[in-house]
Amino acid sequence: MSDIDIRITGRAGRITLTRGKALNALSYDMCLAVDAALRAWATEDAVDLVVMDAEGEKAFCAGGDIAELYQTGTSGDYDYGRRFWRDEYRMNARIFEYPKPVVSFLQGFVMGGGVGLGCHGTHRIVGDSTRIAMPEVGIGLIPDVGGSLMLALAPGRLGEYLGLTGARMTAADAIYAGFADHYIPEVSWPALISELEQTGRAESLESSAETAPEGQMAALRADIDRSFGGEALGDILTALNHEASSFAEDTLKTLRRNSPLSMACTVELLHRLRLGSMSIRKALELEYRFTHRAMEKGDFLEGIRAQIIDKDRQPKWQYADREVPATAVSQMLMPLARDTLQFEEE
């Protein structure tokens, strides 16, 4: 496949995204190829670890390839998207639960589907160009691909802030929030990958790690925890509206651009995870409840139209007044019965 290069080099199973001109956007076929390789290598004695990287300087993976999702969804075919998300989420779980080390080198943009591919492994390497984000609420989705679990586990209320604003994390921010493990200058990455291929041992990465240049999330923690501690989206908006600060003003400006339904469901999803089972499978199962309904009942198709297709940046969201009824949130996150996400083993 021209979009992805999968091979065994030395002791390493190697996965390289090769769609640099498309910011290495993850297609359905690429998801299936990654999953098939991981299944094969799990019991392959010649493979000691898996190394993921990507061509180009701009992005490891800027997200899922959503053009086809839009085309099928606007024609009334919701099954394609549901199948895409179902199989992608199974691949995300496989990475998280993999029996061998999974090392990812995350340059440039790492967003949405790129987080699901690159941020569930055991050794997540970031550099000076890294910008990690979960901006799904801006297109009428929720932070998915297992990202909701990472947000729920982030310090304080940082998860709500990152999930509702789509804020971009630098290397230091990503390590602080739990999305990455080691900062290593990108000039060193080719030599490190060669060493991993030769030795099949990931332990050497820690000795190459350095202190990342200072980020901003730790400094914002007090503001974030004070403003994003409410039980629902309305509580968060009220807190921000009653605070006279540049942080509150800038944050409200960002939130006004995003889907109110998606933001309200994101808050509820993170709270459910914290109160219940903090596992990757539970997170993905909850996420799938939303994405299964996203085209038919959510704001997804309108979000894609406004941001990607027409580019008018004027989405006509449901609940544009940002007063989202609790029933609307419940309906998007209700169990799916026979359509519940399953994690069948091959």
pLDDT tens per residue, range 212-255: 999 999 999 999 999 999 999 999 999 999 999 999 999 999 99
Q: How far is Cα 156 from Cα 171, in angstroms, rounded to an integer?
A: 19
pLDDT tens per residue, range 42-55: 999 999 999 999 99
Binned at pLDDT 50, 70 and 90, residue 1 comes out as low
Angle formed by the axes of helices 260-275 and 280-297, to 10°? 160
Binned at pLDDT 50, 70 and 90, residue 301 comes out as very high
Nearby residues of 313 by Cβ (< 8 Å), 6 or more positions away: 257, 306, 307
Contact assessment for residue 142 and residue 136, using Cβ atoms and an 8 Å cutoff: yes
pLDDT at 345: 55
Stretch 112-131: mean pLDDT: 97
Stretch 278-288: mean pLDDT: 97
pLDDT at 344: 76
Classify domain 1-346 at the CATH class level. Answer: alpha beta
Binned at pLDDT 50, 70 and 90, residue 346 comes out as very low
Stretch 97-112: mean pLDDT: 98
Nearby residues of 70 by Cβ (< 8 Å), 6 or more positions away: 301, 304, 305, 308, 309
Q: Is the pLDDT of residue 289 over 90?
A: yes
pLDDT at 337: 95
The domain limits of the chain are 1-346
What does pLDDT average to over the chain? 96
Residue 212: left (phi > 0), alpha (psi -120 to 50), or beta? beta
Q: How many CB atoms lie within 10 A of CB 129?
A: 16
Stretch 156-172: mean pLDDT: 98
